[in-house]
Amino acid sequence: MKTKHWIVDNLEHVTKNSPQIVQAAELLKKNELVAFPTETVYGLGANAKSDEAVAKIYSAKGRPSDNPLIIHIAKKEQLTEIVDSYPDWIDPLIDRFWPGPLTLVLPKKEGLSNLATAGLSTVAVRMPDHPAALALIEAANLPIAAPSANLSGKPSPTSAKHVMDDLEGRIPGIVDAGPTGLGVESTVLDCTEDIPVILRPGSVTKQQLEEVIGSVRIDAALLNQEELPKAPGMKYTHYAPDAPLTIVDGSKEFIEQLIQKEKEKEKKVGVLTTEENSRFYSADKIVVCGKRSDLRTVASALYDSLRKFNEEQLDVLFSEAFPAEGVGQAIMNRLLKAASHRIIKER
């Protein structure tokens, strides 16, 4: 299969009638797959109403089919197509955060593919804040199921190159609008509980949600890895580079000691760090991931940084830990998944 590549280089003027968007939307209408950019990561889109189309997502990604997908819409009116009903307090969330990186879990309406919702009675839905994504969804005139456009378990794609590295020849097309902005997936909020529950942390923080709707809980699975996660994308190991990754919660001196111990064993070592600390380490490959003083830069660069470790044959990877507050909670959540929860704490 040859993957068609549509470049959208003028986001200010992209519409549902743009030739690249029209061609990509035709594929979606034919129950084919199209990768497209959002403000978080690139998604792998399919008609959310078609079992045939959704099954192709799982096949292309190598993703377990018991892992539900997020449904993307372009207008609030599309909610009535896929959601049965929702309480009045949802509207202030939509008004504040849509379009944007907030996914809402709500009771689903019949008509969606059961593969897209993994047979659950709920559906995860969001409106992406990206002109190319919105134009594509509007042109297709369909709700679009779209997990991240990568091979299952690999770091999520924040550029078209990442998508092509993983899926070229496995999918019919990709809309290329350059790198994404936020870099980590949307916050997922379960709105079916008495007190809403964050199932996956993202750029929209607990504090921001509580400013709009009051009390919000954090899913026990985020606090205790023995609990079973309910959120899309959080049930299995994700984001992992080729070499085993360990998070180090300690000083840069302690991290450097760990690097030296591995090098004495003739191991090739990589380290994920920030601009502030990058010159301190003696690792074979040092990947700078944003600024510690601005964790949003770390979130934006995280997946690209993890992929950079695959450019060389490395044996061991270490990553600095980050404060698990605000967007830092999302960063640590993704790093822990990438490291299979391996973490060393300095005593």
E-state strands within the chain:
4-7, 34-37, 42-47, 70-72, 102-107, 122-126, 144-145, 173-176, 187-190, 197-200, 217-218, 245-249, 269-273, 285-288, 316-320, 343-345
Ligand-binding annotation for 40, yes or no, is: yes
Ligand-binding annotation for 341, yes or no, is: no
Ligand-binding annotation for 122, yes or no, is: yes
Ligand-binding annotation for 126, yes or no, is: yes
Cross-sheet strand order for the sheet of 4-7: 4-7, 173-176, 34-37, 42-47, 144-145, 70-72, 122-126, 102-107, 187-190, 197-200, 217-218
Ligand-binding annotation for 307, yes or no, is: no
CB 171 within 8 A of CB 35: yes
126: its two tokens: 């969001």
Ligand-binding annotation for 148, yes or no, is: yes
Q: How far is CA 244 from CA 240, 269, 270, in A?
A: 8, 10, 10
Alpha-carbon span 196 to 347, nearest angstrom: 36
Ligand-binding annotation for 239, yes or no, is: yes
Alpha-carbon span 200 to 162, nearest angstrom: 23
Ligand-binding annotation for 273, yes or no, is: no
Ligand-binding annotation for 203, yes or no, is: no
Ligand-binding annotation for 192, yes or no, is: no
Ligand-binding annotation for 114, yes or no, is: no
Binding site feature residues: 40, 63, 67, 72, 122, 126, 146, 148, 156, 186, 200, 239
Binding site feature residues for ATP: 63, 67, 148, 156, 200, 239
Binding site feature residues for L-threonine: 40, 72, 122, 126, 146, 186
